[in-house]
Chain A
Amino acid sequence: MMDAGLGAMARALGRGEVSSVELTRALLARIDQLNPGLNAFISIDPELSLAQAAAADQRIARGAAGPLTGVPIAHKDIFMTRGRRTTCGSRMLADFVAPYDAHVVEQLDAAGAVTLGKLNMDEFAMGSSNETSHFGPVRNPWDPSRVPGGSSGGSAAAVAARMVPAATATDTGGSIRQPAALCGVSGLKPTYGVVSRHGMIAYASSLDQGGPIARSAEDLALLLNAMGGHDPRDSTSLERPAEDYRRDLALDLKGVRIGLPRQYFADGMSPDVRVAVEAAVAQLQQLGADCREVDLPNMALSLPAYYVIAPAEASSNLSRYDGVRYGHRASGYRDLLDMYQRTRAEGFGAEVRRRILVGTFVLSHGYYDAYYLQAQRVRRLIAEDFRAAFAQCDLLAGPTSPSVAFALGERSTDPLQMYLSDIYTIAPNLAGLPAMSIPCGLGDGGLPVGLQLVGNYFSEARMLGVASAYQRASDWHLRVPQGLATRAAEAGDGAAQPAATERN
């Protein structure tokens, strides 16, 4: 049952084949067993989870269950969860207990989902490897010497290791898709404004978007149904009628036009990733899709534009962590300025401090036009590129990440090298477009490769349909990291330290 997806679990719960309490217990036991090795969870609260599960079982018994009632999930620790510690992966909020629930958490609670705990992440969602977390790096379930990607590394690793069937995550420049790709799971970043940011701790407000990580397109749709929808507390939340993201899951690919951006298939992708992605494209074509080359001429500018806009917004968003009202405050200080300086120097890690400095610089008098305004112009050009591409096709396909999971420590000393991990994922955030990653093969070291799909605004249902068609015809999304098959876990035969993955 633990290997079943979200949808299968929900159906089993509805039929009374298993209770939510049983499922919750089993998964908590698996977390107990695997988390010391993977470090995917920052906090769990079994009592709270079991109480939610018991309530869900009652609701099922009353016949009042919804599509997610009793299903265990977990939240990225960027979402405020009332009464639970919410750290954002930072020392600054290491002991911060949230006094209110994020919109996403409210919605999933209302749907009856059971929260198993809070998932590890790069500090304030700044990172592509989960190594910037104050709570230590998450390890990739496929190879614990490698990173899971970031910033939603905990979410992707927990789903990959079957500690939880699905998880919430956020994506500012690839933070859902890149870890999903590196951990061999599926992840969707919706159109900007589809998922409310209320209670989602801000990194870069104009780019941040919440979304699900799960094991299949079907499960992503199920979770997004609960996560999405208008919320008046977020002025950038879009006023659109609720949609059923499952409506196109049975989509026939015949006639679907898939654009292959020339810039995504140029040099820069490692050979093993290229093999897997091209094979996936070929398979989509076999399934009836009409694939064609398209051009995104300003793609190369997305990375520099992102590293101006995101740090600029972050430098302002993170000003509230000043030690005055909540969070970390330095113990010995001489005066107000000293308190600010020490508190922020101690509370923030190196990558967060770097981005605050960059952001402060690009917004400074005399530099604003050259950096911030210029980056905003580039942003419009990129959106325009996508608009032109979508005149010729329904969605775009390409790699999610230029390489498979890299080793811990390999890029953490070289920020530029680390930033290049997001080269394919950033552009959709700048344009506000929906984008997803689904497993499409195994590359060097038997490590997962992700196929990225980018859609036009509000085409989530259609993208999920394409992903679902691919997943009906392939089994990459069903692969389990070696040693983590759930039967082995149930038998308790020492899978706590995940071993190297099998070669394929």
Chain B
Amino acid sequence: MDWEIVIGLETHAQLSTHSKMFSGASTAFGAPPNAQACAIDIALPGVLPVINRAAVDRAVRFALAVGGQISPRSVFARKNYFYPDLPKGYQISQYEVPVVVGGSIRIETAAGVKIVQLTRAHLEEDAGKSLHEDFHGATGIDLNRAGTPLLEIVTEPQMSSADEAVAYARTLHALVRWIDVCDGNMQEGSFRCDANVSVRRRGDKRLGTRCEIKNLNSFRFLDQAIRHEATRQIELIESGGRVVQETRLYDPDRGETRPMRSKEDAHDYRYFPDPDLPPLVIDAAWVEQVRAALPELPVARRDRYEREWALSGYDAATLTQSREMADYFEQVVAAVGGAAQAKLVANWVSGELAAALNRDTLEMSDSRVSALALGGLLGRVIDGTISGKIAKEVFDAMWSAGAVESAAADRIIADKGLRQISDSGALEAIIADILRANPGQVAEVRAGKEKAFNFLVGQAMKATRGKGNPAAINTLLRKALAD
């Protein structure tokens, strides 16, 4: 039987504001329990919510980045249910009229390019946390997270594989970080996905019954959960069963999803417009103000790198994975004198630098070699002071010591005596020694065997401990052999 999988994602992106959605309390992660819960967050009698303008700014920024419509008047509603980590007994969220309608995200997988349409994005507040461990049968409540601003981003059910869902989530993750809407820290729960998964026979027009898998906080879990859930549904139907609409949780240890609650015991949330908050009015001036401060988007930069700097699509995509990386790349290009060297810089940034960051699990912003310092190093490659191979040695030294200034490479080159030997007199003497010591290979070269020539070059490089200018060695060796 040929099955088709249909996936829609709901992503909660925690907005990178300093204070909460409706109160002035801090949103910083990791404070002692309840140290960042003010009177509004713990819902004392008589307190009232006030919309955080910075959160709205971020929602508008997101709308502009995905080409969504910004509602001129959106409405906050109350979603009513009782739970100990929900202090008011309701969550303030946008229901009928969200702040962002529509928009799209372009994704790439092995299957090609796809445009995923967004249904909506709305502002809401997070709940606190119930801590079931460490309380000997009782439950602890930490309200630090209560009231944290979230943007819930909802797609149409348009993805048809776990690969596409992951590609979407990664692209969205990169985008919200790029436009500084969300720090994207998945371990801290700043970016988490719910996946709506259903299956249908290929060609069937109607959607199958869906299950929602909640709180997937890594791309790996998202991938695994969708695969397991799709398999479960297909096996269920093929063995004569029927999928029941329900909310499920993914258990990564057991590699399966299991039911959390069914539709029957779903809450009646009794949504109604929050009378404490007038409609959120966003006028054209506000939108323009946000637009003016919007950074160049990753897609635009990619195009520019390909068009103006002649980078390959692959290089351009790699360098625009994060704004920090792209900015760093452009700073290095500027330091080495521009577009002509873009390809060399691209190789270094997505090669040596990315590998070093990866090895030490550092973020771009924590790079031990600054863009200026890398520019200084590559300048010496370009002007022939050192070879590409020596440059890697210098880079390693810069990385371990930490390098900020543009002269950092020069100091290491001087200290270690790594300057390339291009002086013909010095090289000619070395070459003469090598020819004397390797008469067999010399004869082979003269008999037309190129392999033997490469051996002689290698010997010369070895004799100069890698510092010999390869081009100069080549020329001088040819000349010596011709004599």
Contacts and interface: CB of A to CB of B under 8 A. Distances in A.
A402 to B, nearest CB: 28
B176 interface: no
A234 B48 contact: yes
B45 A236 contact: no
Contacts of B89: 316, 318-320, 322
B276 interface: yes
A100 B44 contact: yes
B87 A325 contact: yes
A319 B88 contact: yes
Nearest to A336: B84
Contacts of B88: 319-320
A312 B45 contact: no
B458 interface: no
Contacts of B471: none
B115 interface: no
Interface stretch (A44-52, A260-268, A364-372): A364-372
A198 interface: yes
A60 interface: no
A340 B48 contact: no
Interface string B268-283: 1011100111100000
B48 A197 contact: yes
Interface in B444-461: none
Contacts of B236: none
Contacts of B44: 80, 99-100, 326
Contact of B45 (A80, A234, A360): A80
A233 B48 contact: yes
Contacts of B87: 320, 324-325
A340 B81 CA distance: 12
A287 B141 CA distance: 64
A363 interface: yes
Contact of A198 (B46, B51, B270): B46
Interface string A73-84: 000000110000
Nearest to B43: A320
A223 interface: no
Given A235-B276, A236-B278, A372-B272, A199 B50 contact: no
Nearest to A87: B45
A93 interface: yes
A325 B85 CA distance: 10
Given A88-B45, A200-B46, A235-B48, A316 B90 contact: yes
Contacts, number: 92
Nearest to A363: B270
Contacts of B49: 235
Contacts of A93: 45
Nearest to A344: B82
Nearest to A359: B270
A318 B47 CA distance: 12
A79 B50 CA distance: 19
A133 interface: no
A417 B89 CA distance: 32
Interface residues of A, number: 43
A312 B273 CA distance: 11
A364 B272 CA distance: 10
Interface in A309-324: 312-313, 315-316, 318-320, 322, 324
B350 interface: no
A320 B272 contact: no
A298 interface: no
B41 to A, nearest CB: 10
Given A80-B46, A93-B45, A235 B270 contact: no
B39 interface: yes
B473 interface: no
A501 interface: no
Contacts of B50: 232-233, 235
Interface string A129-151: 00000000000000000000000
Nearest to B79: A316
B467 interface: no
Contact of B51 (A200, A235, A336, A368): A235
Given A80-B46, A197-B48, A320-B89, A235 B275 contact: no
B36 to A, nearest CB: 15
Contacts of B141: 324-325
A204 B388 CA distance: 74
A429 interface: no
Given A100-B39, A235-B277, A324-B141, A316 B80 contact: yes
Nearest to B143: A325
Contacts of A232: 50
A315 B80 CA distance: 9
Given A316-B272, A324-B84, A198 B48 contact: yes
Given A99-B44, A199-B46, A235-B48, A364 B278 contact: no
B275 A96 contact: no
Interface in A167-219: 197-202, 204-206
A15 B51 CA distance: 47
A263 to B, nearest CB: 27
B421 interface: no
Interface in B158-180: none
Contacts of A201: 45-46
Contacts of A80: 44-46
Interface pairs A-B: 9 shortest CB-CB: A319-B89, A206-B275, A363-B270, A205-B275, A199-B46, A320-B43, A201-B45, A80-B46, A365-B268
Given A98-B45, A319-B80, A340-B82, 14 more contacts: A93-B45, A197-B46, A197-B48, A198-B47, A201-B45, A202-B46, A234-B48, A235-B48, A235-B276, A315-B270, A319-B82, A324-B87, A325-B42, A365-B270
6 contacts: A80-B45, A96-B45, A232-B50, A316-B270, A336-B84, A360-B270
Interface of B: 39, 42-51, 78, 80, 82, 84, 87-90, 141, 268, 270-272, 275-278
